[in-house]
Structure 1
Amino acid sequence: MRASLDVAVAKPEAAAQTVALAGRLRTELDRVDHLLDGFLVLAQAQHGTLPDRTPVSLGRLAREALTARAPDLAAKKLTVDDVASSDSWTPGSAALLSRMLENLVDNAIVHNHEGGWIRICTGHGGVEALLVVETGGRVLDQEQVDRLTQPFERLGADRTGSERGSGLGLSIVAAIVAAHDGRLDLLARPEGGLRAQVLLPAAGEDA
């Protein structure tokens, strides 16, 4: 479909309307790509087979996710606090855990107000590795928050299929956490905003 669009707009006689239509169709194709990618990751995580388990640093993945989204953070004037203050390691799929961090950071950016803040902490306690992604913002309904791990569930007036995402972000996070024998807790902060807490098995010290 992309190739057909490229051929159409490359013709010398291509009308301005054709070029404009091609631009809109490319935007829709990007959204379809994003949605299909989300379905594939969700299916992989729900299948629960993780043949490539290796010790993974949650702190490193958090820093990588934030670095990749520096332009988005700057555009909203968001302040990032306490990034990976004390690292934690977990055995698992580096690719899936990276996607988990990316989705949590994306969610924290999209559902934040301009000039807001994001706090990301990692740590460990005994046999568990801890990751917390926390944001400020408007006061949320905990009953709505409890449903956010279901595919296509959104907060308030957010509309599935809008430019804000596919509605699969947190359901993918929940599936990845479950595939790694962990637990995801989503809590509406009394002061406003959301706290996402992930507990995963800690990697052994020999790792």
Structure 2
Amino acid sequence: MKGTSRLGLRGHGIRLRFTVLYMALFLLSGAALLGITIAVFVRNTKATVPFDGRRSPAAERHIAALQAQVHQLQDQQLRQLLMGAAVALVVMAVVSPLLGRTVAGRMLRPLRTITAATRRITADDLHRRLAVAAPHDEVKDLADTIDGLLERLEAAFDAQRLFAANASHELRTPLATMRAALDVAMAKPGPVPASTTALSDRLRAELDQIDRLLDGLLTLARTQHGTPQDLAEVPLARLVSDALDVRAADVAVIELTVDSRLDDRVWIRGSRALLALMVDNLIDNAVAHNHPGGWIRVGVAGDEADARLLVETGGSVLDREQVGRLARPFHRLGVDRTGGAHGSGLGLSIVSAVAATHGGSLDLHARPEGGLRVTVTLPRSAVPAGSSR
């Protein structure tokens, strides 16, 4: 492709570059063919009748006159040939871009098919393959290479999810043993020293934290496993209001002001359990990482295509670059922000995974005046007939 790069087409699409290349080939081939035709014609018209002394002067003059007429006719034919060649080149210059574009499109059609099929394959359906049925050529090799890559990706994803799920399950047994040992130690007759009681309370708190961490890991692994099966029409505003009601006591303890603007007409098609978990984690995150006397702003709105859930809090000014990484597992923003999910560092990761599973996205934005704005965008569903909320 050095020729096309010299023409300043390096930054353009490959179809345009192929079109220019084919157009140039068509024009050069046509010009070469016309040049050869004209050269052959000129060469064949150079023949003359040689002088023969045995012929009479009158015959020679007659032959010369005939030759002059032939040469004049040949010159006229040559001019017509040149004019026809010029017209042919002009027509070729007009037609060659169309021919080049058509040929380039046909040549690139298998690549477009492979690209479209690859784009339809997501993390939820890595089991799909391109399976291009074509003769063994470069395009077939490319498709087979992509299929091999998808197979390795599927194996890696499955291994990761299986490890998280198995580890979460297996670690519960030693945790239960530790709790039982604490219960036995605290249940022994006689007075229990205050230091032992304090140590027991601290250990229980740490065990509860590990339990929540395992719950988060297991939920994250299951959420990332694929498309949920328990799909239904879910009112997003109802999920938010239920989450706020459950946490009303926690909100009252630190005297938070809650401003909720919920559109009852916004519905989502998805797993009610997963969507409720997503909303719970967002509200938990907003309450846990607030300050006494602070505020929370919650909104549910939407347009024809999308539904949006907004959870906004005040507070200190946050680093925007670090805020953008809060959706990663175990990423924390300082000691005063532990990432949600009751301090496991998985809350926003679960929110992002649930949103992605339902075809949506999570956006984290550090407010210039301080605090965090979290926006979840999901595909909107129609309100079911006969439903008020």
TM-score normalised to structure 2 length: 0.50
Structure with the largest fraction of helix = 2
* Contact 2:265 2:383 survives alignment (8 Å): no
Structure 2: distance between partners of 1:63 and 1:146: 27
Q: Distance in 1 between matches of 2:191 and 2:355?
A: 49
Please name the residue that 2:230 is paired with: 52
Residue 91 of structure 1 and its aligned partner are, at CA, apart by 0.8
Out of 205, 229, 239, the position equivalent to 1:27 is: 205
**1:48-197 matches, cutoff 5 A:** 48-158=226-336, 165-197=343-375
- 177-186 or 16-25: which moved more? 16-25
Structure 1 residues 75-110: Cα deviation after superposition (integer angstroms, max 9, x where no partner): 221100024244421011111111111111111112
Classify the secondary structure of the residue corresponding to 1:82.
strand
1:126 and 1:156, CA in 2 relative to 1: closer, same or farther beyond 3 A?
same
Aligned residues: percent identity? 58
Aligned-pair Cα RMSD in Å? 2.2
1:129 CA drift (Å): 1.4
SS in 1 for 2:213: helix
Distance in 2 of aligned mates of 1:83 and 1:205: 18
The residue identity in structure 1 corresponding to 2:303 is: G
User: In structure 2, do the counterparts of structure 1 residues 160 and 74 end up closer, same or farther at CA, with 3 Å as the change threshold?
Assistant: closer
Larger Rg over CA atoms: 2
CA offset at residue 160 of structure 1?
A: 5.5
Structure having the higher strand fraction is: 1
Structure 2 unpaired stretches of 5+: 1-177
Name the amino acid aligned to 1:5. L
Would the alpha carbon gap of residues 190 and 20 (structure 1) be closer, same or farther in structure 2, given more than 3 Å must change? Answer: closer
Question: Could you give the per-residue CA deviations for residues 102-149 of structure 1, whole angstroms, max 9, x where no partner exists?
Answer: 111111112222211111111221121111111111112211110000
Assess if the C-alpha contact under 8 Å between 1:53 and 1:93 holds in 2.
Answer: yes
Contact 1:8 1:14 in 2 (8 A): no
Name the residue aligned to 2:86: none
The TM-score, its normalising length taken from structure 1, stands at 0.91
SS in 1 for 2:224: helix
- Of the structure 1 ranges 97-106 and 108-117, higher mean CA displacement relative to structure 2 is found in 108-117
The match for 1:12 is 189
Unaligned stretches of 5+ residues in structure 1: none
Asked whether the 8 Å contact 1:62–1:83 carries over to 2, the reply is no
Give the equivalent residue in structure 1 for 2:179.
Answer: 2
Q: Is the 8 A contact 1:87 1:122 kept in 2?
A: no
SS in 2 for 1:109: helix
Superposed displacement of residue 170, structure 1: 0.7
Cα distance in 2 between the residues matched to 1:23 and 1:190: 40
2:58 matched to which residue of 1?
none
Aligned equivalents of 1:203 and 1:32: distance in 2?
A: 37
C-alpha spacing 1:87/1:188, structure 2 compared with 1 (3 Å): farther
> Separation in 2 of the partners of 1:87 and 1:194?
26
SS in 1 for 2:333: coil
Q: CA deviation at 1:3?
A: 2.5
Query: How far did 1:6 drift?
Result: 1.7
SS in 2 for 1:50: coil
Paired residue secondary structure (1:2): helix
Describe the SS at the equivalent of 1:202.
strand
